[in-house]
Structure 1
Amino acid sequence: MTVRDAITNRLREAFAPESLDVTDESHLHEGHAGHRQGGETHFRVYIVSNAFEGKSRIERHRMINAVLAAELAGPVHALALKAHAPGEG
């Protein structure tokens, strides 16, 4: 299983999102800190879930970081997040 698949699966299980997009942007960071041959180090996540209703941006990021703790402690160097509740833009 790829790191992207692991991230996707964990987020689906934890947040039952209405919308989820996990993009591997590692190729954009070649030569930068944390980049490894083969990629899977830098990701962008866009997620819409009822779980984020009434939560601040920081609370949402903390929720996601807690779910992805193993990936963040291991292969993932950078994670860009856009987390919204339904109806937010």
Structure 2
Amino acid sequence: MSLEQQLLQRLAALNPSHLEVVNESAGHGGYFPGKESHFKVVMVSDVFQGLRSVQRHQKIYAAVGDLLAPSKIHALAIHAFVASEWQGQDTSSPECAHAPKTS
């Protein structure tokens, strides 16, 4: 099972009303086809109600646990919302300074 699929499976336990897992590895240095090292998670869930941003991230870290290891996921960008916060949020990622150059 791919790392992306494992992330989706584990994060489903937080009962999201919206869950998006994006493999952003291609935008980073050292990329090769099939590489899974950099991901972005956009999640909307009631379990985040009343929690500060760091507490929301901690819930996600607890769910994905051992996937955040040097031999697996190198970077995980997290955008965690409750439904009332979700509309109109910009969850775009900045370009990596070490991204492969296209020319």
* 1:81 correspondence with 2:70: no
- Is the partner of 2:85 in helix, strand or coil? coil
TM-score (norm. length: structure 2): 0.77
The corresponding residue for 2:60 is 64
* Other structure's SS at 2:66 match: helix
Paired position in structure 1 for 2:16: 17
Name the CA distance, whole Å, in 1 between partners of 2:60 and 2:79: 10
> In the superposition, relative to structure 1, how do residues 85 and 38 fare at CA in structure 2: closer, same or farther (>3 Å)?
same
TM-score, with structure 1 as normaliser: 0.88
Of residues 32, 49, 53, the one that matches 1:53 is 49
Check the 8 A contact 2:41/2:77 in 1, yes or no: yes
Query: Secondary structure at 1:68's aligned position in 2?
Result: helix
More helix by share: 1
Query: Percent of aligned pairs with the same residue?
Result: 36
Aligned length: 85
- Runs of at least 5 residues in structure 2 that lack an aligned partner in the other structure: 87-103
Regions of 4+ moved over 6 Å: none
Give secondary structure in 2 for the equivalent of 1:60: helix
CA distance, structure 2, for counterparts of residue 67 and residue 40 of structure 1: 18
RMSD: 1.5
